[in-house]
Amino acid sequence: MNPMFRRMIWFPAAVMFFAGMAMAQTGAIEGDVKGEDGKMAPKGDCKKGQGVCVKIERTDIKGNYQTATDKKGHFFHAGLPLGTYNVTLEVDGKQRDSVKGVRTRLGDPVPVNFDLAAMRQKQEAMTKAAETGTLTKEQTREMSAEQRAAVEKAMKERQQAMAKNKELNDAFNGGMEALKTKQFDAAVAAFEKASTIDPKQHVIWAQLAESYMGQSGAKTGQEQTDMQTKGLDAYGKALELKPDDAAYHNNFALALAKAKKFDQAQAELTKAAELDPPNAGRYFYNLGAVLVNTGQTEPAGNAFKMAIEKDPTYADAQYQYGVYLLSKATTTADGKVTPPPGTKEAFAKYLELKPDGPFAESAKGMIATLDATVQTEFTNPDAKKQQQKKTGKKK
């Protein structure tokens, strides 16, 4: 055979041989992806950043590849040059898990599976172990640098939160103890400290308001006014944080009444009644009691009337309203006590609702007074004696 011809035949064969060797020097990576619900992940779209996308990055030389899961949650990427890779799982564009140091091989694909439910449980177990100081050496070794940093950060934040919570609880509990024993100065100091630690706790502001109002009771003049203003401001902050709390509106109203802001007090009680209709009568009765104690007779009478309108079966409100009406009674020239309409009915209603109540005897006495006639004519006791003397002289 012609040597030239032999060379021409051998050359293409050699080319084919080397091409086959080049093709054989690649591997593949495949795997299954389970979501946090334990089910196979749905089909992904890497271009749109939707669903599951698996990114494959070569670490020994530059090379980046990616593939998405199919409808069954399976991914497969062939034609990867033999080498070492980091395989990263992204869900909706966010990294969720990764496997480092994956070496491709000739022949069968290298399996790399992801189970987000198992991973979450494992991470939670690691975090809990780290927080309780029971992290095992195995768990520590299994952590990536990112996981270790995240756990350390979580531990630090938890320690800070625990220290903060202890300081907060100590201040709040100290304030409550002082408030119970009416040590208002100490209560104010404790709740002020608590409010600086956590200004988002509505209960702290409400108790601080109570403490300010209690403190104002021992003051006079401008100093008392200043304390009351602080109390009203604290109630305002409590209601900013929890505007649907009927009890806060009620207590705010009572504080406003002490500060002689009666229109605002009634507005707050109306709000409390709207939020808590079953207790509406009690809210207005409380206002009436505060007004009576501060000598505000007319506003007190209106409050007791409102309590009855909200709850006609509120016995104590009926009695107090009767007392208010009786204070406006007049006496006619013939000695008849004439109270405003509804006075006797209010006392009678109390006796109907609470025949053995604490005000029962008083109510009976009030009704008896209304049925009696008062002697209004003045008689001089000496006049009869003088008449008798005159009569004796005539004899």
Condensed to tens digits (0 to 9), the pLDDT of residues 215-242 reads 999 999 999 999 999 999 999 999 999 9
pLDDT tens digits for range 18-56: 444 445 589 999 999 999 888 998 898 998 888 899 999
What is the side-by-side strand order in the sheet with 52-58?
Answer: 64-68, 52-58, 84-91, 94-103
| Residue 96: inside a domain | yes
Give the distance from CA 134 to its chain's centroid. 33
Query: Are 124 and 148 in a shared domain?
Result: no
Residue 363 is predicted with a pLDDT of: 93
Last residue of one domain, picked from the residues 96, 128, 160: 128
**Percent of the chain topping pLDDT 70:** 80
Query: Are 108 and 155 in a shared domain?
Result: no
Query: Are 110 and 181 in a shared domain?
Result: no
C-alpha–C-alpha distance, residues 285 and 262, integer Å? 14
| Residue 216: inside a domain | yes
* Tokens (6 digits) for 313: 């079966």
- Count Cα neighbours of 156 within 13 Å in the Cβ-side half-sphere: 6
Residue 143 is predicted with a pLDDT of: 63
Question: Is the per-residue pLDDT at 303 higher than 50?
Answer: yes
Last residue of one domain, picked from the residues 227, 244, 278: 227
Residue 25 is predicted with a pLDDT of: 85
Q: What is the dihedral of CA 121, 123, 129, 132, to 10 degrees?
A: -100
Residue 20 belongs to what domain range?
Answer: 3-128
Query: Are 121 and 22 in a shared domain?
Result: yes
Element (H, E) at 395: none
Last residue of one domain, picked from the residues 211, 227, 243: 227
Task: Please choose, from the candidates 97, 102, 127, 77, the residue with its C-alpha nearest in 3D space to the C-alpha of residue 36.
Answer: 97
Query: Are 24 and 106 in a shared domain?
Result: yes
Domain count, the chain: 2
Are 37 and 121 in contact, with CB atoms under 8 Å apart? no
Which of 225-234, 277-286, 380-389 is modeled with the greatest confidence?
225-234
